[in-house]
Amino acid sequence: MDDSNSTERRAQWFCGGSQSSSACILIRSVCYYFILCQILWVWDRCLRGAGCICIVLRILSCFCPALLHTAHLCRFLKQVRPPAWNVSFFRVGVHVRAGDVLWLIWRGHTAPGQSYYIKAANYLTANLTVPVQYIVTSDDLRWTKRRIALEVVFQNRSNVSVVYSEGKDAGFDMALLSSCDALIMSTGTFGWWASWLTNITTIYYRYWPRPGTFVDSLFTREDYFPPHWIGLGDESDLAKEQGGKS
């Protein structure tokens, strides 16, 4: 649940104030941290030493909350909070991986369309009685606004807010997703790391990779998706560019 006042206090304590230069340094640190984790994960898979590296990454992730609560991030969260919402609300991060995966079908990549995100949103919020805010990040916001368009889907619901992270770098988006109460992933490793390192409730697209393809031949589902993550969607939820209906 969101508590913007406590978040802001932690950010000011950590940064020593609200100077944007300090915030930028910390946000970039999150990006470098993400890259380091990618390297460690590959090394771990090559050496088959999953246990040791997982422990190291989990310990490192303890520093993540301090990095996330920067003045820059707090200002953004405060700006996008609807003025009329004076009570606690549930914040859902949405990562939409578009770009080249839309066209790399032959390798086995898949990209879900709008129907998957609606299913995931409904699943997460089915039993909630508080307002919900979706914060959408993507490597292709233009495509996301045209094809996913959650703000259109929920336009008639006064207790739902949809905002986009625009003009931000990868480090900021990583911090933003990790600060949410839950995460809806598409495909790719960016959203995967945002969820795994902070251990939040996660919905992932189940139809990845495409069966019988190159990526599928290298993939072990049990190694990639933790058992407590929730898989939704199937082939019918593919984006139109990949032969789907949405």
The dihedral sign for the CA sequence 32, 38, 42, 44 = positive
- With tokens 């508080």, the residue in question is 130
Pairing of strands 201-205, 230-232: parallel
Per residue of the chain (246 residues), what is the pLDDT tens digit? 665 444 444 334 334 333 444 555 555 555 556 665 665 555 555 544 455 555 555 555 544 544 544 678 888 999 999 998 988 999 999 999 998 888 888 889 999 999 999 999 999 999 999 999 999 999 999 999 999 999 999 999 999 999 999 998 888 898 899 889 999 999 988 999 888 877 889 999 999 999 999 989 988 998 899 999 999 999 999 998 877 666
Q: Give the count of domains, the chain.
A: 1
| Sheet (strand 132-138) strand order | 160-164, 132-138, 90-96, 182-184, 201-205, 230-232
| 37 and 50 Cβ atoms separated by less than 8 Å | no
Task: Please give the torsion angle defined by the CA atoms of residues 73, 154, 229 and 40, in that order, rounded to the nearest 10 degrees.
Answer: -40
Range of the domain at 119: 4-242
**65 token code pair:** 């909350």
Q: How far apart are CA 32 and CA 34, in angstroms?
A: 5
- State the helix-helix crossing angle for 170-178 and 20-47, rounded to 10 degrees: 80
Beta bridge partners of 128: none
**CATH code for the domain in which residue 69 is found:** 3.40.50
Predicted local distance difference test score (pLDDT) of residue 138: 96
Quickly list H helices, the chain: 4-15, 20-47, 50-60, 64-68, 71-80, 114-125, 141-147, 150-153, 170-178, 189-198, 214-217, 221-224
SS3 category, 189: helix
